[in-house]
Amino acid sequence: MDIMEKLNILADSAKYDVACTSSGAKRNGKKGSLGNTIAAGCCHSFASDGRCISLLKILLSNSCIYDCQYCANRRSNDVPRATFTPREVADLTIGFYRRNYIEGLFLSSGVIKSPDYTMEMLYGALKLLREEYNFGGYIHAKTIPGASQELITKVGHLADRISINLELPSEASLNLLAPDKPKVNILRPMRQIKSSIEENRHDLVVYRKPPKFAPAGQSTQMIIGATPETDFHIVRLAQSLYRKYSLKRVFYSAYIPIGTHELLPQNQPVPLLREHRLYQADWLLRFYGFQADEILTEAHPHLDPFLDPKCNWAVNHLEHFPVEINRADKEMLLRVPGIGLKSVERILTARRMGPLNFHHLKKLGIVLKRAAYFITCSGKYMEGVKFDYSFIYNNLTHDVRRTAQGLPKSSVEQISLFDPPAQQVLTGGGVGSWQSVNV
């Protein structure tokens, strides 16, 4: 088999792995438009300075001795198999890099012969790239569950980011569908990688130039929707992974029906919206100071398909609103839907100059079509806003509900910044204690 045939097979097999920021999109080119996307081949990651990096995304091998039921590469699946040599991986990466197609490599693999044998091959490819070709580009390498600590350390010294897939959100599901991969074989290396990163950080301060270990940290991926765990369970699990293992990212991959096991959903892809909502909830955990049990509870274990998790929290906690833009502290501003991290900083800086109104907020980039229901400026609501659960819920979900029904978006009780300034003034504080007056 020549290297291009292998590349076709091994880039296609890697498309199910979402542990990078963009991948999996498939869109054919159309007459009159420019560009197309294919699910396999390249993916993107973001550097710590915000730069977007395109990566060659391939498997070293799609042969696997394991039989994880949710995976296209499981040994019982009848698919064409291929395995690169370490030199072929290195040559391909350098070839694409020199042509300016990519800026780095995302390398994963099925388990060939044994976890250690596979890790040796991955290590061989990375060693050639770093030491023979002096390749300084970004490398994200997957570690193989069950591989020895020594090999993981060696790979960590060559890769920028390393990751190990959690695969499924519970031990029970893992035992049922991936019995060859006990939970301990996933969590032990995760703990070890965390310690190595911390030790390396310490060494970087104390010694002059120690070799760096996974400077871009570690991440993981779990498949959602293949097994019955709720969103609440998944969000709580992600929170605990961030806390215990200092992960940079948890990636969520909506299950694509490729398994035939009776416990797996058949012919029923998991809605991508569920994956999207989980990413939004994950963002709240990492950057907005939310706890998992604020986002969801045992009694309400699923994310609302019509409302993003931040709006959902706000609508169901109206006792914390409205927030007065000119006085609220940073933590409370971060809880307002439509106000992001940068917007909060802009508000804090701008209000030192004088009180802000809705025109100022619009100029600062605040998304008023979400924020307006939850804020006041100098005690005044925006024109047209009613501080009432049904009014807010219906307005916030109106377009999504119409889209879900296949209907075009239409105007509801629109709020506007440019009509005559009839505004509502807060008179007493709390829900329902305002009256509408012209100012």
8 Å CB contact between 437 and 427? no
Q: Is 285 in the site for ligand SF4 (CB under 6 A)?
A: no
Structure tokens at 217: 């940290």
- Residue from 23, 45, 54, 73 touching ligand SF4 (CB under 6 A): that is 73
Eight-state DSSP code of residue 265: P
Tell me how far, at minimum, the Cβ of 58 lies from ligand SF4, in Å: 13
For ligand SF4, give the closer residue by CB, 144 or 382.
144
CB of 64 to ligand SF4, least distance (A): 3
| Binding residues among 150-189 for ligand SF4 as defined by CB under 6 A | 178
Structure token digits, residue 362: 């619009």
Choose one: 65-73, 245-253, 318-326, 406-414; the region binding ligand SF4 (CB under 6 A). 65-73
3-class state of residue 146 by DSSP:
coil
* Tokens found for residue 79: 């698919």
Work out which of 86, 110, 156, 384 binds ligand SF4, going by CB under 6 A.
Answer: 110
What's the closest the beta carbon of residue 87 comes to ligand SF4, in angstroms?
22
Counting residues that bind ligand SF4 (by CB under 6 A) gives 9
Per CB under 6 A, does 309 bind ligand SF4?
no
SS3 assignment, position 306: coil
Pick the stretch among 64-72, 123-131, 308-316, 419-427 that binds ligand SF4 (CB under 6 A).
64-72
162 phi, psi to nearest 5 deg: -125, 155
Report the C-alpha gap between 199 and 191 in whole angstroms.
12
Which of residues 146 and 337 has its CB atom nearest to ligand SF4 in the complex? 146
- Least separation in angstroms between CB 305 and ligand SF4: 28
Nearer to ligand SF4, 74 or 360 (CB): 74
Nearer to ligand SF4, 167 or 229 (CB): 167
Comparing CB distances to ligand SF4, the nearer of 175 and 297 is 175
Q: Which is nearer to ligand SF4, 60 or 284 (CB)?
A: 60
Q: Please check whether residue 89 is in contact with residue 107, taking contact to mean a CB–CB distance below 8 angstroms.
A: yes
74 binds ligand SF4 (CB under 6 A): yes
Which residue, 74 or 274, has its beta carbon nearer to ligand SF4? 74
Considering only residues 10, 11, 111, 371, which one is a binding residue for ligand SF4 as defined by CB under 6 A?
Answer: 111
C-beta of 110 vs 225, nearer to ligand SF4: 110
In 3-state terms, the chain is what percent helix, strand and coil (to 5)? 40, 15, 45
Q: Which residues contact 78 (CB under 8 A, 6 or more apart)?
A: none
CB-CB contact of 310 with 367 (8 Å): no
Q: Are 377 and 357 in contact (CB under 8 A)?
A: yes
* Cross-strand bridge partners of residue 42: 56
115 binds ligand SF4 (CB under 6 A): no
Range in contact with ligand SF4 (rule: CB under 6 A) among 66-74, 121-129, 133-141, 383-391: 66-74
Which position among 66, 245, 251, 290 is part of the footprint of ligand SF4 (CB under 6 A)?
A: 66
Residue 9: which residues within 8 A CB-CB, separation 6 or more? 62, 80, 81, 82
- Shortest separation between residue 68's beta carbon and ligand SF4, angstroms: 3
Pick from 7, 11, 42, 68: which binds ligand SF4 (CB under 6 A)?
A: 68
> What is the rounded distance in angstroms from the CA atom of residue 222 to the CA atom of residue 127?
28
Q: Which is nearer to ligand SF4, 73 or 424 (CB)?
A: 73
Residue 57's beta-bridge partner residues?
41, 106
Stretch that binds ligand SF4, among 69-77, 191-199, 266-274, 286-294 (CB under 6 A): 69-77
Q: What phi and psi, each to the nearest 5 degrees, are found at residue 124?
A: -60, -45
In whole angstroms, what is the distance from residue 142 CA to residue 158 CA? 12
Q: Which stretch binds ligand SF4 (CB under 6 A): 63-71, 97-105, 340-348, 423-431?
A: 63-71
315 in contact with ligand SF4 (CB under 6 A)? no
Give me the numbers of helices (H) and strands (E) for the chain, helices first please.
15, 12
- Rounded to 10°, the helix 86-98/115-127 angle is 40
260 burial type by CB count under 10 A (0-12 exposed, 13-18 middle, 19+ buried): exposed
Calculated CA dihedral for residues 252, 257, 260, 262, nearest 10 degrees:
70
253 counts as binding ligand SF4 under rule CB under 6 A: no
Distances in whole angstroms, Cα of residue 297 to Cα of each of 15, 179, 302:
33, 30, 8
104 interacts with ligand SF4 by CB under 6 A:
no
Which CB, 71 or 238, lies closer to ligand SF4? Answer: 71
Residues that bind ligand SF4 (CB under 6 A): 64, 66, 68, 71, 73-74, 110-111, 178
